[in-house]
Amino acid sequence: MPESVANSGFAYRAFISYSHADRQWADWLHKALETYRVPSRLVGKQTETGAIPRRLHPIFRDRDELPSAADLGRKVNEALAQSQNLIVICSPASARSRWVNEEVLAYKRLSRGERIFCLIVGGEPDASDLPGREAEECFCPALRFATNAAGQPTAERSEPIAADARPGKDGKPNAKLKLIAGMLDVGFDQLKQREQQRRVRRMTAIAALAVTVMLVTSALAVYALISRHQAVIAQRQAVVAQQAAERRQKQAESLVGFMLGDLNDKLAQVQRLDIMQAVDDKAMAYFESLPSTDVTDEALQQRAKALEKIGSVREDLGNLEGALETYRASAAISSKLAASAPTDVARQVAYSRTLSFIGLIHYKQGKLSDAQHEWETARGTLQPSLRLASGNLSPLQLLAFLDNDIGHVLEARGQPEAAETAYREVLVLARKLVALKPDSTDYESQLGSAHNNLGKLALQRGDLATAIAEYRADDAIETWLSVRDPKDNSQRENVLRVRAILGRTLALTGEVQIAIRDLQQAVDIANAISKVDPNETDSKEYLALYGSQLARLQRVNGNLADAKALTARSNSIFTTLIRKDPSNAGWQSESAEALVEQSAESLADGKPNAARVQVKAALAVLEPLLAKQPGDRNIVLAMVAARLLLAEATVDPRISASLLGETLKTIQAQRNGRADPGLAALQTETLLAMNREADAKSLLKDLWKGGYRDPALLVLLQRKHVEYPTNSAFSRRLAAVMQADPIDAPQLRSAMPVSSATNHGNASPKEGNGH
């Protein structure tokens, strides 16, 4: 950051607001301001806005400078707050632009209306007051009218400070000088005189040089002719090279603008990854063909952003290896940029963010050590920025994401205590972020995710009431965010995830009908989103995963036909997904769970042979996964459930007994998570199948204390004639939890509709509950 800007407390000398239709004007003005050299006699002179700098950079241009973020409005507001001046390119197009109008209003709300300067490039000022000429208006409403103390437009007219670049008016040179004079707080005439004096000195120097050259060339005529000929050739070669470079520059800017502009954000919200994929391969090939040594830092930053965005698209399409390749290419650029400017917070955040994406790909592939290494490296890179940020919340937000990710790895590696420490730190950070910026969707969503993670660990401890309370908090937050922006399909995915997790957990307490309702809602939302973009994989995964979980509840509730239809669709979806990317360990595990459910349905339908084939197929997937991730709770639960089912479907009693023995050993080998009610229930089922009813009753006592009433266990106990009454004390506690306000953030509670705070609503990571 230039010293002059840093001393003023602003990150940017000016913010250029314009309509896409006026992009050429924005390009010209951006270059004209950043390359302008302030006359040396004015440099250092004190004005009301501080000392006059030597240069007028950096200049923020919103379409080029904005990072790829879901919350575009938040990024614009941050840039406006960090800009010393606002320059509005005025034309009929910008007068009609909602974004330009909002940016002017936002800047006025910062009490800097006197630092707004206009550049008229077309149309007519105040033409809206002339009957029949309204379409010629070049000032947006926020420029034409003053605002009140609350920052809202009023009927009072205002007189914008404007330079007129139209032919016959100031013209481009004078308009540029007028803007610069306003930004520097000096008189236009004074600046123009200085400019004219500088031109005179330049012309004098050129004339003196011309005379010298003439004398030398006169004395060396022959040599001059030869040299001139060589110079012409070299000049032509230079022009050709410069034109080629400029052409490549324009191509890069066009591609980056397409990938990182408004189109990208809109497509991401509506899940139109198929359109974004159309430029993926071409963009990747283009960036790989360009060297990283002959371009500016700004161009390198744009290239890193574009590669990161391409990686995100590939990841959403299920191409994990392609995404990893692209993320690494982005990290190679952003790491050099970060190393060259260790105090530049934005560069450190950009590099850390790319490392976090690389870690996520490893996590999805089941490479937990690699994932943890990337996330801890990213965390270490980010730490110094927390001291340098000074009001910039992006390092704090990224730190919360990294702690959340590290918690997932620790949990998958069988370290729940360490995972809970990480998750509680996320909760502290998320509450701090929401308190600092209550209107941020990202921060509110992080708060919901933190509750979800803590609910998951409470469930593993057997504390069902606390788990439900945490899930309801996440559910209410995500539901409210979706109500606030119903067209955001990414937020709808958050809703369906927590809806399914909350429903599954309620089923463990015996609330089967509510659980079926919640899971059905999750399936319906996933089905609707999956139809928006046939190539997007997340919604299809949710449709298959939660469909098979809903099928289990329907089966134990006596609706076998509905269960079979749901499971058949889930298996079909998982087959398609895995064919697309066999390296995705999460899809493999979830597909095996669906096969286990299909096997249970075959057994319930009186088809033991089919049940054995299906559950053996599931075990063939689960066994190598468990060998790689022995601490992953979901894989352990799926493996135990599969072996129990195979033992039940096996005719030979000796083989069945052997399977039960292996199942019990697998359960007893778990060093962590033994209090997990799902695991305890499966151990109880194993012991009852081995006719060890006394040992089973000891486990049942703990399950009863925790209020566990999963319908599958109740059916088994009824068949075995084992008494298992309702725990009245737990029922009262659960009723109190369900009636309590689930929101811990007052600003959310006051803004949220009453129904959202009491109804079931949304979710967080899939790793949630068990079987």
Query: Which CATH number covers residue 361?
Result: 1.25.40.10
For 384, 415, 482, 628, the CA distances from 191, given in Å and listed in that order, are 42, 68, 53, 71
Q: Yes or no: say if 765 and 456 are a contact pair by the CB < 8 Å rule.
A: yes
Question: Considering the chain, what is the average pLDDT of its residues?
Answer: 83
Q: Higher pLDDT residue, 637 or 207?
A: 637
* Whether residues 285 and 319 fall in one domain: yes
pLDDT in tens, 62-81: 655 454 444 557 888 889 99
Q: Residues with Cβ < 8 Å from 763, sequence gap 6 or more?
A: 452, 471, 474, 475, 478, 494, 495, 496, 497, 498, 499, 500, 501, 502, 522
* Whether residues 137 and 254 fall in one domain: no
**Residue 200 falls inside a structural domain:** no
Closest CA to 151 of 119, 204, 117, 110: 110
pTM of the model: 0.57
* Whether residues 10 and 147 fall in one domain: yes
**Residue 735 falls inside a structural domain:** no
What is the C-alpha separation between 473 and 449, in angstroms, rounded?
9
Residue that terminates a domain, selected from 341, 371, 392 = 392
**Per mean pLDDT, which range of 27-41, 255-269, 422-436 is the poorest?**
255-269
Q: Yes or no: say if 80 and 110 are a contact pair by the CB < 8 Å rule.
A: yes
Closest CA to 472 of 253, 136, 273, 758: 758
The domain total for the chain is 4
Residue 236 has a pLDDT of: 75
Residue 558 has a pLDDT of: 92
Query: Which CATH number covers residue 167?
Result: 3.40.50.10140
Cβ neighbours around 465 below 10 Å, total: 18
pLDDT in tens, 400-448: 889 899 988 888 887 888 888 998 888 888 888 888 888 888 888 888 8
Residue 103 has a pLDDT of: 93
Range of the domain at 289: 245-392
Closest CA to 78 of 115, 110, 30: 110
Q: Is the pLDDT of residue 746 over 80?
A: no
* Whether residues 30 and 174 fall in one domain: yes
* Whether residues 263 and 346 fall in one domain: yes
Closest CA to 771 of 668, 618, 559: 618
* Whether residues 180 and 59 fall in one domain: yes
Q: Higher pLDDT residue, 650 or 754?
A: 650
Residue that terminates a domain, selected from 392, 412, 431 = 392
Average pLDDT over residues 144-163: 89
* Whether residues 508 and 626 fall in one domain: no
* Whether residues 494 and 539 fall in one domain: yes
**Residue 60 falls inside a structural domain:** yes
Residue that terminates a domain, selected from 596, 627, 650 = 650
Q: Is the pLDDT of residue 765 over 50?
A: no
* Whether residues 616 and 554 fall in one domain: no
